Structure 1
Amino acid sequence: MKDKKFHLSIVFTIVVSYISIKFIDNYQYFFGVFRLLLSLLTPFVIAFILAYIFTPIVNFLEVKLKFKRVFVLLITYGMLLLLLASFILFTAPIIISSLADIVNQLPLYIQKTQDFLIEIGNSLKNVDPNTLKEIGDKFMAAMPEISNLFIGYLGQIFTTTFSISKFIAQFVLAFIICFYIILEKESFFSFYKKLLYITLGKKYAQLTLDVGHTLNTNIGKYFTGKIFDSFIVGLLSAIGLYFIKSKYSLLFGTLIGVMNLVPYFGPIIGMTPVVLINLFYDPSIALLSLIYLLLVQQIEIAFIEPKIVGGQLGLSPFLTILAVTVGGGFFGIPGMILSVPIMGVIKIYLSEFIEYKHKGMNL
């Protein structure tokens, strides 16, 4: 009997090793399949995120209006379409015009940068000529690599253009899926609950439901609160930049609002182009813009975010940065945004587990 178990363990080890080797040898194929699967599931992920945003609105209107859910959903979607139409008619043309102007002004930015470098060069006339020659030679040697990098970025721009078209199609599909998720959410949950009890048993099914409920609560509150918080930050930024007479105030306000969804790194990414582009026109406006945006961030951290988003996650800066880094590395900006509430849930259950084990050891 022992020999039989030993032989089975050897066979199992050989099979696992063979599969692992084949997976490593063909990892590109498997990652390609995984990326394709993620791409196919993207509309459903977006739909669930939208459901988090719309469900509180639908629940509120359902109670207040006492209409059937399908009519409440149609009203909600109608309001959303009205907001989108208003944005497209009044805001989008200004943003697109600003983007086009930035592209047109690129030669000017390059020329001013060159003039600045020439001024630095003139100020370095007293430096040893051999040193300058050495720096110049290194720069010229790097030019082919810079050129290839630039060509690569151009290709990336075209790829991104097509990706945006694909994303818009996925977003439209996500809105349709979201409609049916909210319309039949009780049926979905009932089916999901029965499936868990059948496959996992009562104990682990209940644990999964508890984790799901905690995750749902955290993501729902955090995500909806963070969107409203970022809208206020974007609005304050756009208004302040307009009165400071910053270039492209509406475009920059929108960018800051969107990037504010990403903790820690987002505000820095949002502020950088504001300061850099204004430097080409008026350094004093660039400095005022930086001071104002830093002030808005401090107001957001001290007053806006605690009131709207709340401190229910209780994450330290270290855990937040870790979550954003890992989430962004795997799933980009959506991963950065969603990683924080997910890390909050992991922290809750990990803390409970550690406390339980610690009490057990004391006993």
Structure 2
Amino acid sequence: MNDFPITVKRSIELLGLVLLVAVLAVGSDILMPIIMAFFISLVLLPVFRFLIKYRVPEPIAIVLPILLLVVILGLIVWFFSSQIRDLVADFPQIRKNINIHLQTLSNWVYKISDYSTTEQVELINKNTNDLLSFAGKTASGAAVTLSSLFVFLGLLPIYIYLILFYKSILLRFIFMWFKEDHHEKVKEAIYETESIIKNYLVGLMIQVTYMTVLVGGILMAVGIKHALLIGVIFAFLNLIPYVGALLGNIIGVLITLTSSTELWPIVTVLCVIAGVQFLDNNILMPRIVGSKVKINALFAILGVIIGGNIAGISGMFLSMPIIAVLKVIFDRTTLFRQWGVLLGDERPPRSPMTFPVFRKRIPILSKGSVPKN
């Protein structure tokens, strides 16, 4: 490979990346549950090792962490469904509030465009068929998505069990891809990947908990209706980098609109979410996750968008761990090291246009970084 011209090397790199994305896109229904199971297996690995240490039979040591995961997920679903039930119980009042908001919106439209209420109703009636058609397509799409979700969740524990059971075979397969001289680097990359993914996913679980408590608790103390539901929805959507926080704000405002006819609850919801998010981004999450791998915002957003187009919600959620794993691999290979630099957020202290040393394929210390001994 080292004897190839530079153009051939770059062509092979780009072809490999394109093929990787193509494989994920074509086989997303098959690959996404496996990738998710792989990441969850890394989180359950310490529990599995603890049980093995005390001589628990291997099949039982695998099943017990999976059962613990199922119980936790069941409690989350129960909590979320109870909040939805409270929202449905308030439906008559929600309907009245929506009518008030629609009337206010209609009056505002009349002031800025001279469209009377009657003309607005006629315009809506003309588009009723299109709206119903769109609703039907959305409902059918949601049904397909829901059935896919059940298949996804059904396969997940099976994949987790098999990955933990056959982990030695998988590790041997990885080592056999490389020469013995490189096995130490491969071992180091495996340990770092395990550490990064564990820290990231455990950090996300802790983040969901304290975001729900902070947002829901503060809103409840202020007197906002359905405060816990807003907290839960925002906490889970916040798992999707950048995009999720925006969606969480929008849904929080919509829920508040349906439960109140005043303006102050909406302002309160936005201020509380903004304050908690600032606390989360700048103080809590960096300390909890403490990841050694930093992904720059540009490729984090691109990863979320590409992951969403490839595999929907699961692709958006898995985009950051996948990019983190790729960066660990790229940083440890001479051939792909520049891709690791591209994904990272360690900016050189000076411009590579004026300082040739910053153009080389060597690690560059950013401002404030400490050189390793």
With structure 2 as the length reference, what TM-score do the two structures score? 0.69
Of 18, 35, 47, which aligns to 1:45?
Answer: 35
Quote how far apart the aligned CAs of 1:230 are: 2.5
In the other structure, the counterpart of 2:244 is: 266
- The residue number in structure 2 matching 1:97 is 85
Query: Which residue number corresponds to residue 156 of structure 2?
Result: 174
1:278 corresponds to which residue?
256
Equivalent residue in structure 2 for 1:161, among 118, 129, 143: 143
Distance 2:184 2:121 in 1: 63
2:29·2:311 contact (CA, 8 Å) conserved in 1?
no
Q: Secondary structure at the match of 1:298?
A: helix
Cα distance in 2 for residues equivalent to 1:168 and 1:97:
21
Q: Note if contact 1:53-1:223 (Cα within 8 Å) is conserved in structure 2.
A: yes
Matched, 1:318 2:307: no
| 2:212 equivalent in structure 1 | 234
Give how far 1:42 is off: 4.0
Pick from 86, 104, 123: which aligns with 1:116? 104
User: Does residue 1:247 correspond to 2:249, yes or no?
Assistant: no
Whole-angstrom CA distance in 2 between matches of 1:167 and 1:212: 30
Q: Report Cα offsets for 1:321-359 as digits up to 9, x if no partner.
A: 232233223332222222224334555636844789726
1:358 to 352, 357, 360: 360
Q: Mean Cα displacement is larger for which, 253-262 or 214-223?
A: 214-223
1:18 corresponding residue in structure 2: none
CA-CA distance at 1:297 after TM superposition: 0.7
- Aligned equivalents of 2:249, 2:44: Cα separation in 1: 30
C-alpha distance in 2, partners of 1:202/1:149? 63
Counterparts of 1:324 and 1:87 in 2: how far apart (Å)? 24
Question: What are the Cα deviations for residues 19-51 of structure 1, in whole angstroms up to 9, with x where unaligned?
Answer: xxxxxxxxxxxx9x9977432444323322321
**2:43–2:202 CA contact under 8 A, matched in 1:** yes
Deviations 1:210-261 (A, max 9, x none): 7666555433432332232233212322222222222222322221121111
Change in 2 beyond 3 A, CA 1:337/1:359: closer
Residue 359 to residue 97, structure 1, CA distance change in 2 (3 Å):
closer
- Please say which of residues 220-229 and 265-274 is displaced more in the overlay: 220-229
What is the root-mean-square deviation in Å for CA atoms of aligned residues? 3.9
1:276–1:88 Cα change, 3 Å: closer
User: Do the aligned partners of 2:80 and 2:232 also contact (CA within 8 Å) in 1?
Assistant: no
CA distance in 1 between partners of 2:63 and 2:286 (Å): 33
Does residue 1:186 correspond to 2:165, yes or no? no
State which drifts further: 282-291 or 208-217: 208-217
CA 1:292 to 1:62, structure 2 compared with 1: closer, same or farther past 3 Å? farther
State percent identity of aligned pairs.
Answer: 20
Structure 1 position 152 matched with structure 2 position 152: no
Please list the CA deviations of residues 106-146 of structure 1 after superposition, one character each: whole Å capped at 9, or x if unmatched: 64354123211233256x3xx7xxx6369998996787557
Question: In the alignment, which residue of structure 2 is the partner of 1:22?
Answer: none
Q: Shift of the alpha carbon at 1:306?
A: 0.9
CA distance in 2, matches of 1:146, 1:208: 60
Aligned to 2:65: 76
Contact 2:34–2:156 (Cα < 8 Å) also in 1: yes
Q: How far 1:268 moved relative to its partner?
A: 2.0
Alignment of 1:329-344 (within 5 A): 329-344=309-324
Q: Aligned letter for 2:197?
A: I
SS at match of 2:360: helix
Q: Name 1:13's counterpart in structure 2.
A: none
Larger radius of gyration: 1
Match of 1:247, SS state, is: coil
- Contact 1:324–1:340, Cα closer than 8 Å, also in 2: yes
CA distance in 2, matches of 1:43, 1:319: 23
The Cα shift of 1:202 comes to 6.6
SS in structure 1 of the partner of residue 33 of structure 2: helix
Q: Classify 1:142/1:317 alpha carbon distance in 2 versus 1 (closer, same or farther; 3 Å).
A: same
Q: 1:47 to 1:270 in 2, by over 3 A?
A: same
Deviations 1:151-175 (A, max 9, x none): 2133212331342133123212210
TM-score (structure 1 length as normaliser): 0.71
Q: Any gaps of 5 or more consecutive residues in structure 1?
A: 1-30
SS of aligned partner of 1:337: helix
Q: 1:105–1:156: structure 2 CA closer, same or farther, 3 Å change rule?
A: farther
What letter matches 1:256 in structure 2?
F
Amino acid at match of 2:66: Y
Q: Secondary structure at the match of 1:152?
A: helix
AA matched with 1:248: H
- Is the CA contact (8 Å cut-off) linking 1:313 and 1:341 kept in structure 2? no
